[in-house]
Amino acid sequence: MRQRAIDAGLMTAEHAARVTNAEIEPLVFRPGFSTQPVATEVSGRGVGLDAARAAVERIGGTIALVSSSSGVRLTIVAPRVLTTSLVSVFAAAHAPVRLAVMAPWRVIGEAAGDGIDPATRIGLRATREGTPRPFRFTRGGRDDVTLVCGGQPEYALAARECPTTDQDLVEVVRIGDEELLLVRPELCRGDA
């Protein structure tokens, strides 16, 4: 790094000989700085650690470089980012879990007839007796699905600690100290 700093005109050879590693390490985060003598498709262009530092700092994190005789260690500390979403929460009809359905799906009332049991659809075994109650959920008034619930759904804010894609049938969410399974009705129905 010292030689590259000298070659880039960032410091003189005399100054480079006097500074400590801790004083020279921040240079790798400067735009345009590279330790590679020749640019390739993936390295040596001086774009990388400056962009990484900007992205990490933008979310409130830190990035540090520490060199030793055995090599260089890059440490990134990022804050835990939680996304919260409005969900409808209900007991599963035949399993000892509570499930959630994320907005824009909303409950529009009890339905007549049968519905889809999301607990069964995601592979939970029926472990208790219950009186299933079918509730209609709608997405923007244009897309309805009836899910079998173990009780009246209620609204809550859930923390999405590790969000999954819309193509995943379930995701773990948290309301207070309780973990619930977030289900996607369109995938329960099987027509996503």
110 strand-pairing partners: 135
20 pLDDT higher than 90 = no
- Model confidence, pTM: 0.55
Mean pLDDT within 173-183: 91
Quote the pLDDT of residue 191. 54
pLDDT score recorded for residue 35? 72
* CATH node for 2-77: 3.30.565.10
Chain centre to alpha carbon of residue 65? 25
133 token code pair? 């109650």
Q: How much of the chain, in percent, has pLDDT values that exceed 70? A: 91
| pLDDT averaged over every residue in the chain | 82
Q: Residue 192 above 60 pLDDT?
A: no
pLDDT tens digits, one per residue of 57-93: 877 788 888 777 887 788 888 876 678 889 999 988 8
DSSP alpha helix (H) spans, the chain: 2-7, 13-18, 21-24, 49-58, 118-121, 185-189
* pLDDT exceeds cutoff 70 at 102: yes
Q: Where are the domains of the chain?
A: 2-77, 83-189
**Total H helices, total E strands in the chain:** 6, 10
